[in-house]
Chain A
Amino acid sequence: MSGEKVLRLGLSGVIGAAFLPVRAQARAFYNFQTPVTPIARDVLFIHDLFLVIIAILFAAGIGLLLYTVYAHSRRRHRTAATFTQPVGRKQWLWASTPFVALLIIDYVVLGIPALHSIWALADTRGAEMTVQVTAHQWHWQYQYPAYGIGFSSDLSTPARQIDDRAPKDKHFLLEVNHPLVLPTHEKVLLVLASSDVIHAFWVPAFGVKQDVVPGYLRQTWVEIDKPGVYRGQCAELCGVGHAFMPIVVQAVPPAQFQHWVAAERAREAAVQATASATYSEAQLILRGRQIFQSNCAACHQSNGLGLPGAFPPIAAGHPFAASAPMLAALRARGFYRHGLIVEGPVPNHIRIVLHGIPGTPMPSFAAQLSAADIAAVITYERNDFGNHTGDVIEPATVAALKDGH
């Protein structure tokens, strides 16, 4: 690998020197985000090298073209030549130089750094920490097996901003309620899975883009060398919410990371405790509205009317047209009668939210929402959107159904 290093140094010396001012300039405007991992730096190097090389090739090509268009136009060049191929050894040699140059560019100038970086990316050995990343339609879920903590990370941009009814934040669509927190200067192995369709985990500043394939595992790694907040988003079309599943990573120094872990553990314990508490209807509805807007509105819409054919309304009494199997499933659970959505039995309602409806996009929330949150959102659903069932669901009821399963 040392030969490659020499070459790399040489190349960056020669080309980079000429290009540095441009590069600095470009960085400020539209270029890759500032890399914070070894891989991202590698890739940026390749990218810069590439752009210089194709710029040179393009300049050569267009220069030649403009020259011939100027010099060999009918006005300046009355009689056309008649040659149809290179003649003689010398011309053949000339004619083959561009291709030799192209091969060298392909396999040496670009190929060697590329190989280096591909091997580096594939080398997941020696990781100090592992995080499991699970993609869902349409949010990410992060688990830290070594610390026994985990949470899901949803888009936190309010619907009003997306509908253009409110001014947009700075990080419009690239902000979440619960970022992935990672320590700096540690090699972190990311084990990626998907619960439904193919998504792709992509944080530009890490130089990592990895598809996640349902039923399979993928892995990649990062070693962040600068604390900060890094934003990316899902990079594989995964349905209507594809634009709305950002990734936000907060990199903190290791010591601070340990603090965060402790705090996170305490928070999760507190959430556990809420399962046995009781709340007033007003408390539940208030909390439920928040939960609904951040977890359910993506599909069932913030007005609870759903989308025809895809997502059923939550508001009872509304018609819903969809494929026969989907309607049959809804009917079987007691949520659909005579062409209209109705409020089905409470236990079924809890089961739907806890376990999702297999084979449909309706996800399981058992892992993401606490029993209290689920109780809240169901109470809210059953008492808003024109529904007046008056049902108040206790967290304990939800917890019982959850464990009973």
Chain B
Amino acid sequence: MNAVTEPHRPYYIPNPSPYPVVLSGALFLLGLGAALRVNALTAGWWVLGAGALLAVYVLFAWFGRVIGESRAGVYGLQEDRAFRWGMLWFITSEVVFFASLFGVLFYERNIAVPWLASFNAPHSALAPFSPWPHFTAQWPNGGPAGQGFEVVNPWGIPALNTLLLLSSGVTVTWAHAGLRAGRRTQLKAGLALTIALGVTFLGFQLHEFSEAYRVLGLTLHSGVYGATFFILTGFHGLHVTIGAIMLAAMLARTWRGDFTPENHFAFEAVTWYWHFVDVVWLMLFVFVYWL
């Protein structure tokens, strides 16, 4: 923040708002629907669908409201800072989420699998009792009762994807530079490029998943390797999707004439998120595909 001095103004406290409670209701329906659905109980899909629709509607309305407020100029420096810190802490919680998934990968690979194999060690007093007499520790591993599968070659699509996401990090920064310098065309081009890169990434990723299922025999059922592979790449893919949608929203707003060189918090928040997704991918590439 540069030193724009502001006269004192009261902190903006929004009027009573229906969105939060409705969003909670939507999440309730989503949760309920999911719980019913996975157990093949009544009405699962319907409840799930209703929840999803309601959630999409509220998110539109809520964000629309905030954008409206922002355009009306009700936010000052203090509000801006609050949004920034809020976003940063939110991303922190996401970091913890992914860190735990990496922790799971670490545990399964370096503790669980060797432990299971250790019972067979020739000198072990436990060898006669080993529940998995033919199991040896290696990674990747589908577990003692798993069927075989092949792994994705890191230097094919994944490497390409790394390149795509890294360059999307560059393009989004380029777009930001454009915004700050008031070059709106650069901003639009940068955003569009970033979205295109993100979508291409997703396309490749989907292709890779289907290859894994159809050709490599690598599925959610393929023991710990398949499980950690899909949960990590899957959640990452989900985040790329969300990020791409948010970028698209930013592009739409740019088109509408939103954002000034000084005031464009929403845009910045999305770029933070995008960089975060980028960094997660790098970790994924190294620990899931490569090593």
Show the binding face of A for B, using Cβ within 8 Å: 124, 127, 130, 132, 145, 189, 191, 193, 215-217, 219, 323-325
Contact = CB atoms under 8 A, between A and B. Distances in A.
Interface residues of B, number: 13
B130 interface: yes
Contacts of B40: 323-325
Q: Give the top 7 A-B pairs by smallest Cβ distance, nearest first.
A: A324-B40, A191-B129, A217-B126, A217-B119, A132-B129, A217-B129, A215-B131
Given A323-B39, A323-B40, A324-B40, A145 B128 contact: yes
Contacts of A217: 119, 126, 129-131
B12 interface: no
Nearest to B115: A216
B116 interface: yes
Nearest to A215: B131
A124 B126 CA distance: 11
A191 B116 contact: no
Nearest to A195: B131
Contacts of B129: 132, 191, 193, 217
Contacts of A191: 125-126, 129
B125 A189 contact: yes
B128 A216 contact: no
A169 B231 CA distance: 53
| Most interface-central of A189, A193, A216 (chain B CB within 10 A) | A216
19 contacts: A124-B125, A127-B125, A130-B125, A132-B129, A189-B125, A191-B125, A191-B126, A191-B129, A193-B131, A215-B116, A215-B132, A216-B115, A216-B119, A216-B131, A217-B129, A217-B130, A219-B125, A323-B39, A325-B40
B126 A219 contact: yes
Contacts of A193: 129, 131
A324 B129 CA distance: 36
B125 A216 contact: no
B142 to A, nearest CB: 14
Given A145-B128, A193-B131, 15 more contacts: A124-B125, A130-B125, A189-B125, A191-B126, A191-B129, A215-B116, A216-B116, A216-B131, A217-B129, A217-B130, A217-B131, A219-B125, A323-B40, A324-B39, A324-B40
A184 B115 CA distance: 32
B162 to A, nearest CB: 36
| Most interface-central of A132, A215, A325 (chain B CB within 10 A) | A215
Contacts, number: 31
A324 to B, nearest CB: 5
Nearest to B132: A215
Contacts of B144: 215
Contacts of B116: 215-216
A325 B41 CA distance: 11
A197 to B, nearest CB: 15
Contacts of B115: 216
Contacts of A127: 125
Contacts of B130: 217
Contacts of A219: 125-126
A132 B125 CA distance: 12
A324 B44 CA distance: 14
Interface string B250-278: 00000000000000000000000000000
A145 B125 CA distance: 13
Interface in B109-132: 115-116, 119, 125-126, 128-132
A127 B119 CA distance: 17
B127 to A, nearest CB: 10
| Most interface-central of B115, B130, B131 (chain A CB within 10 A) | B131
A219 B118 CA distance: 13
A219 B39 CA distance: 37
B45 to A, nearest CB: 15
Interface in B126-143: 126, 128-132
A359 to B, nearest CB: 13
A261 to B, nearest CB: 19
Nearest to A127: B125
A189 B126 CA distance: 10
Contacts of A323: 39-40
Nearest to B130: A217
Interface string B20-44: 0000000000000000000110000
Contacts of B131: 193, 215-217
B108 to A, nearest CB: 13
A145 B126 CA distance: 12
A324 B40 CA distance: 7
A323 B39 CA distance: 7
Contacts of B39: 323-324
Interface string B49-76: 0000000000000000000000000000
A83 B128 CA distance: 69
Interface in B172-195: none
B138 to A, nearest CB: 18
A98 B258 CA distance: 62
B44 to A, nearest CB: 11
A396 B39 CA distance: 41
A130 B129 CA distance: 11
B111 to A, nearest CB: 11
A191 B127 CA distance: 11
A207 B116 CA distance: 27
A323 B144 CA distance: 29
A191 B132 CA distance: 15
Nearest to A192: B129
A215 B128 CA distance: 14
A217 to B, nearest CB: 5
Nearest to B127: A217
A217 B130 CA distance: 7
Contacts of B119: 216-217
A216 B119 CA distance: 8
A193 B132 CA distance: 12
Nearest to B40: A324
A75 B206 CA distance: 77
A189 B128 CA distance: 13
